């Protein structure tokens, strides 16, 4: 009976997460999490066990980075960086596009993917309007690069944060391992975009020169705030890289940096709370409760048993995990899918599977995120921005069709890369 209750709640919750349009996913997911605490279908659903059920490391990293990014955004730093990228290109279309995508990849490696899309979208739309072209290809490229850049670090995508917390992964080792395949994926997607989009380069270059009157300095709304924000951001990143040496958890580093920056900029919790993404925090809390319940009724072990026959062939196991995650995640969505599958990876590794299985999953899940608009919230928001600003609708099938090769080619590269990690 307990297994039936957990599975029923999980199925209903995931139905709302994936398909519901008029219901706040965060509220419904948190409600189902609370319902599990009320019904207690499995042992351990008690408040005294909350630290074992909900990963406060994940929530701490999210909260700390949200605060730092919001203060940086308020300073105008991100617009300043984007305008400088356009200036640096000397208004040559392919150079502009490459530099902007590099900026997207860099931002997404250290910021939340959704925030990156929200920050870069106005610049992408400005370029599209200046060139008088359909913004859809540029926005879909931006979403793809956003997800690719995010896979390079443990804080680059929400699924990586969850993965790092459950697997207790090392920030620097993860970065060193994932950076080569991130770079290869980035280059391959840009090449495909150039191959599939023939443009009149000379005309585009002339049109882009109309942007020469943009002044990067005018993008800065508060120079003092920007300097303080960038300094603390760099210190936090350094703390992430050396956290295993200094023996401080990532969440504590992120939260300490956020609190110091709040002190330096005279911010308080009340003013900051208005700009923070509380929906994401409660959404994750509900998902952690569901994932804990699934693990307790044996779902994790059951899924892990499916892969047990491959334990004697590590490279085949890694390839299967990578491709399986790339197929499952686009439909379950990044974080909900990872909260089900990450405990499976942990169990397999504990039972003798190679540690590199974490990287195989990270490659497949992050790249697979690009396949459908359901893959991650930033995909949905990017498509929504197109509809809001240009009344251009990208259907599910159209999205998959345009994303198929930008997912397939990096996945093939990722498969080859598994032989070298």
119-149 pLDDT per residue, tens: 899 999 988 899 888 999 999 999 999 999 9
Query: In sequence order, what are the residues at sequence separation of 6 or more whose Cβ sits closer than 8 angstroms to the Cβ of residue 106?
Result: 149
> Per residue in 329-370, pLDDT tens?
999 889 999 999 999 999 999 999 999 999 999 999 999 999
Least confident of 24-33, 270-279, 365-374: 270-279
| Greater model confidence, 112 or 297 | 297
pLDDT at 209: 86
- Rounded Cα–Cα distance for residues 231 and 201 (Å): 39
Share of the chain above pLDDT 70, in %: 100
Which pLDDT band, with edges at 50, 70 and 90, does 189 fall under?
very high
Tell me the average pLDDT across 94-118. Answer: 91
Residue in 406, 378, 402 with CA at minimum distance from that of residue 117: 378
Tell me the average pLDDT across 364-393. Answer: 91
> Tokens 């990156």 — which residue?
116
Q: In 3-state terms, the chain is what percent helix, strand and coil (to 5)?
A: 80, 0, 20
> Residue 176 belongs to what H/E stretch?
helix 171-196
- Rounded Cα–Cα distance for residues 296 and 282 (Å): 21
Cα–Cα distances (Å) from 34 to 10, 72, 208, 286, 373, in that order, read 13, 34, 53, 7, 28
Calculate the dihedral angle through the C-alpha atoms of 250, 322, 281, 100, rounding to the nearest 10 degrees: 80
Do the beta carbons of residue 365 and residue 412 sit within 8 Å?
Answer: no
pLDDT reading at 274 higher than 90: no
Please provide the average confidence, as pLDDT, over all residues in the chain: 91
pLDDT reading at 210 higher than 90: no
pTM for the full predicted model: 0.91
- Rounded Cα–Cα distance for residues 293 and 271 (Å): 36
Which pLDDT band, with edges at 50, 70 and 90, does 151 fall under?
very high
Share of the chain above pLDDT 90, in %: 62
Residue in 279, 259, 255 with CA at minimum distance from that of residue 267: 259
Per DSSP, the residues of 293-356 read HHHHTTHHHHHHHHHGGGTT-HHHHHHHHHHHHHHHHHHH-HHHHHHHHHHHHHHHHHTT--TT
pLDDT at 291: 92
> Per residue in 77-90, pLDDT tens?
888 888 888 888 88
pLDDT at 205: 86
pLDDT at 1: 77
Count of other CB atoms within 10 angstroms of residue 227: 14
pLDDT reading at 201 higher than 90: no
pLDDT at 184: 98
pLDDT at 323: 97
Tokens of 57: 């490391």
- Rounded Cα–Cα distance for residues 392 and 239 (Å): 43
> Per residue in 226-256, pLDDT tens?
999 999 999 999 999 998 888 899 999 999 9
């Amino acid at each position: 009976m307990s297994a039936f209750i957990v599975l029923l709640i999980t199925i209903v919750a995931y139905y709302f997460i994936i398909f519901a349009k008029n219901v706040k996913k965060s509220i419904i997911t948190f409600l189902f999490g609370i319902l599990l605490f009320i019904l207690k279908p499995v042992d351990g659903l008690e408040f005294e066990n909350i630290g074992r059920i909900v990963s406060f490391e994940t929530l701490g990293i999210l909260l700390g980075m949200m605060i730092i990014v919001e203060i940086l955004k308020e300073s105008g730093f991100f617009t300043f960086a984007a305008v400088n990228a356009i200036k640096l290109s000397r208004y040559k279309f392919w150079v502009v596009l490459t530099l902007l995508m590099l900026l997207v990849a860099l931002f997404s490696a250290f910021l939340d993917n959704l925030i990156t899309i929200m920050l870069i979208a106005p610049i992408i739309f400005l370029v599209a309007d200046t060139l008088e072209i359909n913004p859809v290809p540029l926005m879909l490229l931006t979403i793809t690069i956003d997800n690719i850049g995010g896979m390079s670090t443990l804080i680059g995508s929400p699924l990586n944060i969850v993965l790092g917390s459950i697997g207790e992964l090392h920030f620097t080792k993860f970065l060193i391992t994932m950076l080569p395949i991130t770079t290869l994926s980035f280059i391959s997607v840009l090449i495909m975009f150039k191959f599939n989009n023939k443009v009149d380069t000379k005309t585009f270059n002339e049109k882009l020169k109309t942007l020469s009157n943009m002044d990067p300095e005018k993008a800065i709304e508060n120079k003092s705030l920007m300097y303080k924000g960038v300094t603390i951001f760099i210190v936090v990143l350094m703390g992430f890289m050396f956290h295993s040496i200094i023996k401080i958890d990532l969440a504590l580093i992120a939260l300490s940096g956020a609190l110091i920056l709040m002190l330096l900029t005279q911010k308080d919790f009340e003013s900051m709370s208005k700009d923070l993404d509380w929906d994401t925090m409660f959404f994750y809390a509900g998902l952690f409760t569901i994932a804990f319940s699934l693990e307790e009724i044996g779902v994790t072990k059951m899924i892990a048993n499916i892969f047990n026959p491959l334990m004697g062939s590590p490279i085949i196991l890694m390839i299967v995990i990578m491709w399986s995650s790339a197929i499952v995640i686009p439909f379950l969505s990044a974080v909900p899918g990872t909260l089900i599958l990450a405990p499976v990876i942990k169990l397999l590794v504990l039972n003798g599977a190679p540690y590199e299985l974490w990287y195989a999953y990270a490659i497949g899940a992050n790249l697979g995120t690009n396949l459908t608009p359901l893959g991650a919230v930033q995909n949905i928001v990017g498509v929504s921005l197109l509809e809001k600003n240009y009344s251009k609708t990208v259907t599910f099938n159209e999205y998959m069709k345009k994303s198929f090769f930008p997912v397939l080619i990096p996945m093939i590269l990722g498969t080859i890369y598994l032989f070298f990690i």
